Amino acid sequence: MKPTGNQNNDTKNRLLKSACEVFAKKGFRIATIADICKGAGTNIAAVNYHFRNKKTLYVEAWRQAFNRTIESHRPDGGVPADAPAERRLYGRIISILQRFSEMDSYVFEVMRKEMANPTGLLTEAMRKSIEPLQEELHSIVRELLGRKATEQQVLLCQRSIKAQCFDPMNWEQHRRRLEKAGIRFGLAAVKFPIETIAEHITRFSLAGIREIRRQIENGTDKADRLAGRKSRAMKVSK
């Protein structure tokens, strides 16, 4: 008897879920189809049928997991599009933190493994999935910095905000691993609510952005002037 459409979808979804977990733990190169099939309760023929090969499964597993985090946590954090830029920034920040904190999504762990040992297989999928979110954050930061801000100033502020989001979630995952091993000590044992972290990152970032904007408008942004001198020097030396 051939499997029904529902059975096919169930098998495919189990493979995707198991694949994301295995790739998160082992990375693409070490993970095996046998590991994935064992977790999904199916056989290698199912992988061939649904995905043709390990590479396709890798990309599709990450893409589906990423899309599910977006469905669970809207990128705008539930903040209306017509809200002040300061509040929209908070919405973006708390959405990033919420997606990071999902225990069973494995999205960011797969990304970390990919960055540590690149295959290039996720490059296009990540670009298409993440680029629109980056553009939205970029737009908010530019609005906060004002029209006189350069592209470099916007990008540096944007990267600073993202770095602040990644660090506490890295600590949280480390804390969970320690707890699982029965270890509790030092800073790793400190746990803050996501809302508290999001509010702090927003306040901290806004304070920095306001100061940079003040310097831009007063013509006293030393970092930007230094970058400009370096750029001109490079052009002269060519």
**pLDDT tens across 114-147, in order?**
999 999 999 999 999 999 999 999 999 999 999 9
Under CATH, which number does the domain 73-237 receive? Answer: 1.10.357
Q: Where does CATH 1.10.10.60 sit in the chain?
A: 1-59
Is the pTM for the entire model greater than 0.85? no
How does pLDDT run across 186-203, given as a tens digit for each residue? 655 567 889 999 999 999
**Intra-chain end-to-end CA distance of the chain, in Å:** 71
CATH architecture, range 1-59: Orthogonal Bundle (1.10)
Q: How far is CA 230 from CA 64, 89, 156, 233, in A?
A: 43, 31, 17, 5
- Nearest Cα neighbor of 137 from 173, 114, 163, 113 is 163
Distance CA 97, CA 165 (A): 6
pLDDT tens, 87-116? 999 999 999 999 988 767 789 889 989 999
